């Protein structure tokens, strides 16, 4: 019996003005390489970082923190994948 598993890659684009600075790229490389399963590419001509994940091993809040530590203000391009949004520990009240 052959079982086909659905595979969904998580993609995210981050615009961060100033990421073209070589020192910031090197520090960003060091920070992002520590994230399991993360692949990324820096488009230094346009200040964009493309991120790909096979599974959600990091949240948007953590990504924002990595960029902020470098003095960069990350702006997420397009819709943020729901898998990368932090899980709320609160429950909705029923009416």
Q: Is residue 3 part of a domain?
A: no
Confidence (pLDDT) at 9: 86
Query: What band does 47 get if pLDDT is binned at 50, 70 and 90?
Result: very high
Give the domain range for residue 47.
Answer: 10-80
Residue 92 within a domain: no
Q: Report the pLDDT value the prediction gives residue 91, as an integer from 0 to 100.
A: 60
Reported as a single tens digit per residue, the pLDDT across 2-24 is: 666 656 789 999 999 999 999 99
- The angle formed by the CA atoms of residues 41, 47 and 48, to the nearest 5 degrees, is 45
Question: How many domains, in total, are found in the chain?
Answer: 1
> Does 42 map to a domain?
yes
Calculate the CA dihedral of residues 17, 22, 24, 26 and round it to 10 degrees. 140
Residue 45's pLDDT band (boundaries 50, 70, 90)?
very high
CATH number for position 68: 3.30.70.100
């Amino acid at each position: 019996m052959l079982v086909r598993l659905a595979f969904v890659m998580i993609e995210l684009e981050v615009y961060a003005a100033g990421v073209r600075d070589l020192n910031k790229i090197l520090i960003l490389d060091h920070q992002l390489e520590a994230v399991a399963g993360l692949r990324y590419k820096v488009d230094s001509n346009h200040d964009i970082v493309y991120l790909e994940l096979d599974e959600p091993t990091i949240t948007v809040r953590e990504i924002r923190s990595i960029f902020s530590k470098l003095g960069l203000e990350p702006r997420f391009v397009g819709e943020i994948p729901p898998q990368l949004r932090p899980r709320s520990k609160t429950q909705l009240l029923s009416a």
